[in-house]
Chain A
Amino acid sequence: MPVIDIQNLSKVHAADGLSVNAVNGVNLQIGAGEFTAIVGASGSGKTTLLNLIGGIDTPSGGEVLIGGRSIGRMSETERTAFRRDHIGFVFQNYNLLPVLTALENVEFVMELQGQPVTDRRNRAETLLRQIGLGDKLNVRPGKLSGGQQQRVAVARALAHRPQFVIADEPTANLDSKSTADLLTLMEQLNRQEGITFLFSTHDSRVMEKARRVIVFNDGMIQSDTDQ
C-alpha cells in the first residue's frame, strides 16, 4: 500500500473571474522510503500539488489518501492534527520560530503532541547532533546561517517521526555548498532511517540526487522516471 495515493486530483484557483487549473486530474502513488523530486517551471502547479498532499489546501476534485485516509474530507481541525502527527514540512524560507532556540524549534511539534520532556529533548538533541549542529542547540535562528537554519528545519520536520516529509524548494535560498550539505543529509536520512521524502525543485543538482523524478507542467504530470 503506497504512503500517498493520489486519485484524479484537481485544484481550480479562481480570481478576478478567471479560473486556473493549478492541478488537473493527477494520479500518483508514492511508496514508503521513496526519495522523489517533483520538478517543473515556476507556476507549473508543483507547490499547489504539495499543499494538497500535505493537507494545507483542499482539492476541488479527486482525493489524496494518506495511509488510506482521505485528507481532503477531514475538517480543518482534523487536518491540522493529522499534519502534526503524520507529516513533516520543510519550507523554502526555513520558517523557524525566531524566539525559540534550535533545540526548542526541533522540540516544538513533539511538545504540541504532548510528548514527555525527556523523550522529546533526547530526540531533538540526537537529531541536531546527527545533522552536525550539536554545538548550536541553544542558539536562536537569527544567529545561524541559512544552511544551518534549513538543517534545523529538516530536523524539526523529522522529529515527530512523520509518515513522510514534504519539502517545497528546500534549497532555493541556499548557496551551492549548503545545498550539497542539505541534500547529502536528506539522502542519508532517507537511506538510513527509511524516511519518505517528497520535494519540489527546479534545481538540477537536486534532481540528480532524487531516485524518482516527476516532471510537472500546467498542472499535469508530464513524465515520471526512476533513476
Chain B
Amino acid sequence: MNQLLRLAWRNIGRKRRRSLIAISSVAFALLVSISLRSLMLGNYDKMIEAGTKNVGHLQIHSAGYWTGKSINELMTDSPARRQQLAQAVGITHVLARLQNGALASGEKTTKAVQVNGIDPDIEDGFTNLSGRLSKGSFIKNQSTGVVMAEGLARYLKLGVGDTVVLIGQGYQANIAAGKYPIQGMVRLGNPQLNLSQVYMPLPLAQAFFSADGLASAYLLTLVDANQTDPVKNRIQATLGNGFEVMTWNELLPEIKNSQRIDTTIFTLLSSCLYLIIGMGLIGTVLMMTLERRREFGILQAIGLQKSQIRLLIILESLLLGFVGVVVGLALALPFVLYMNAHPIPLTGESGKSFEAMGVEPVLQLGLKPHLFALMGSIVLAIMGLATLVPMGIVSRLKTSEAIK
C-alpha cells in the first residue's frame, strides 16, 4: 500500500499544470458552494432569530387554539404554572400573552387591530420592544395606557396622550370595550404589523377581554434552539392532552418553506457546479489512464495485479481531490470567518425588505462546521466516481496489447 501511495503521489506531480488545474477547480467549487450555503444558512439564522423573537421557540396553548385562534379557547394563567414551566430543563424565558382582534377608533377612523396583552418587563427582556419606541414611554405592569404601532397611530390620526377606543369580542360572548390613553409608540419593521399592533399590560388586557386569569399563549425560549423537539415532547407529556405545544417551525411554516425552496435552489445550483467540475475531473482521470495504458501494461507484465493498478488510480484520484479539498477549505474557512465577523450592511430596497421582516439588514455568512465536512465529502465522492470509467479500462486491459 505504501508503495502504491508513494507512486500515486508522485504521479500527481507528473503533469503539474494539469494537476494544478484539477486542484484549482475542486478548490473553486468548494469555495463557491461553501460560501453560498454559508450565506443562506446565515440568513436563515437571522430569520429564525427574528421569527422566534416574536413567537418564541415553543408555544403552549389550550388544545385547538392555534387553528381558530378563538378568544374562547384560552387557558388558565397563573404565576405557579409559569414558575413550573420556567424550572423545566432547557427553558430560559416564559412569557404569557393574551392576544385577540379588536376594532380601534380615533376621532374619525376605525381599523381592525391586534391587541396584545403582555408582561412588559419579561417581554421586553426577550423582544426588546422598548428599543423600538419612537415616541412617549413604554408600558409597565401597572400601566393603564397602551403602546401603539406608529403606522396605526398615524392611520387613526392619534398621538401620544390621545385616547384610543377599543371594541371587540370578549371571552365567552362578553363585549370588550374600553378607552385607553396612548402612552407610547413603537416603530415595527414589518409594515403590516406596524399598521395593526396595540400592546397593553396583561392584567389590563384580561380585564378588557373579560378573561381574568386567562391567557392565549405561553411563549417559551430555550437555551439551545436546536432542542425544540425533545423539549416540546417532554412538556407535552407533562401537560397532557388539554394543551397543544408547538415549535417555531410549526408556528412559522413560511420560514421552513423558504428554507426548503432555498435548499432546493442551492442543491440544483451546486449540482450543476459539481457536475461541471466533476466532468472536468473525470476527463482528467480518464486522460491520466488512457495516456498510461502502456505503462499499466508494463506494470502488469512485471507483476502488479490489475486490482493494484485499479487501487493506484483510485489513490491518484482521491489524492488529487484531497489536495483540492484542503486548498478549497483553506480558502473558504478564512473567507467565511471574515464575512461572519464583518457582515455586509444592506441599504436601499433590500435593506428595507429585510427590516420589514424584522430581520437585521445585513448579509452575514453563517459558521457551520458540518458544511465544510459535507462539501469536502461530496468532492471526494465525485473523485471516487471519476475513477469508475478508468477502472473499467484497466479491467479490460490486455497486457500483450498494452505493451506494444
Indicate whether A80 sits within 8 Å of B300 (C-beta atoms), given known contacts A57-B400, A95-B295, A111-B3.
yes
Inter-chain contact B304/A97, CB cutoff 8 Å: no
Inter-chain contact A54/B301, CB cutoff 8 Å: yes
Which one of B3, B10, B301 lies within 8 Å of A83 (CB-CB)?
Answer: B301
Inter-chain contact B14/A89, CB cutoff 8 Å: no
A residues with CB within 8 A of B? 48, 51, 54, 56-57, 76-77, 80-81, 83-85, 89, 91, 95, 97-100, 108-109, 111-113, 156
Contact pattern, B 5-20, Cβ under 8 Å of A = 1, otherwise 0? 0010011011000000
Which one of A56, A99, A109, A112 lies within 8 Å of B10 (CB-CB)?
Answer: A99
Inter-chain contact A84/B303, CB cutoff 8 Å: yes
Q: How far is the CA of A89 from the CA of B399 in the complex (A)?
A: 13
Which one of A76, A83, A98, A100 lies within 8 Å of B302 (CB-CB)?
Answer: A83
Inter-chain contact A112/B304, CB cutoff 8 Å: yes
Contact pattern, B 381-404, Cβ under 8 Å of A = 1, otherwise 0? 000000000000000000110010
Interface: B256 (CB within 8 A): no
Chain A residue at minimal CB-CB distance from B9: A99
Inter-chain contact A89/B301, CB cutoff 8 Å: yes
Collect the chain A residues with CB atoms within 8 Å of residue B14's CB. 98-99
Contact pattern, B 297-325, Cβ under 8 Å of A = 1, otherwise 0? 01111111110000000000000000000
Inter-chain contact A91/B298, CB cutoff 8 Å: yes
Inter-chain contact A77/B302, CB cutoff 8 Å: no
Least Cβ–Cβ distance between A23 and chain B, in angstroms: 12
Q: Do most interface residues of chain A lie in helix, strand or loop, or is the interface mixed?
A: helix
Q: How far is the CA of A98 from the CA of B299 in the complex (A)?
A: 12
13 A-B residue contacts at CB 8 Å? A54-B301, A56-B301, A56-B400, A57-B399, A76-B306, A77-B305, A80-B305, A84-B303, A99-B11, A99-B13, A108-B302, A111-B3, A112-B302
B residues with CB within 8 A of A? 3, 7, 10-11, 13-14, 294-295, 298-306, 399-400, 403
Collect the chain A residues with CB atoms within 8 Å of residue B302's CB. 83-84, 89, 108-109, 112, 156
Q: How far is the CA of A111 from the CA of B301 in the complex (A)?
A: 15
Inter-chain contact B400/A80, CB cutoff 8 Å: no
Chain B residue at minimal CB-CB distance from A88: B302
Q: How far is the CA of A76 from the CA of B308 in the complex (A)?
A: 13
Q: How far is the CA of A168 from the CA of B389 in the complex (A)?
A: 32
Chain A residue at minimal CB-CB distance from B399: A56
Q: How far is the CA of A51 from the CA of B303 in the complex (A)?
A: 14
Least Cβ–Cβ distance between B15 and chain A, in angstroms: 11
Q: How far is the CA of A95 from the CA of B306 in the complex (A)?
A: 18
Inter-chain contact A97/B7, CB cutoff 8 Å: yes
Collect the chain A residues with CB atoms within 8 Å of residue B294's CB. 95
Collect the chain B residues with CB atoms within 8 Å of residue A80's CB. 300, 303-306
Inter-chain contact B298/A95, CB cutoff 8 Å: yes
Collect the chain A residues with CB atoms within 8 Å of residue B10's CB. 99-100
Which one of B295, B298, B303, B304 lies within 8 Å of A85 (CB-CB)?
Answer: B303
Inter-chain contact A51/B306, CB cutoff 8 Å: no
Collect the chain A residues with CB atoms within 8 Å of residue B399's CB. 56-57
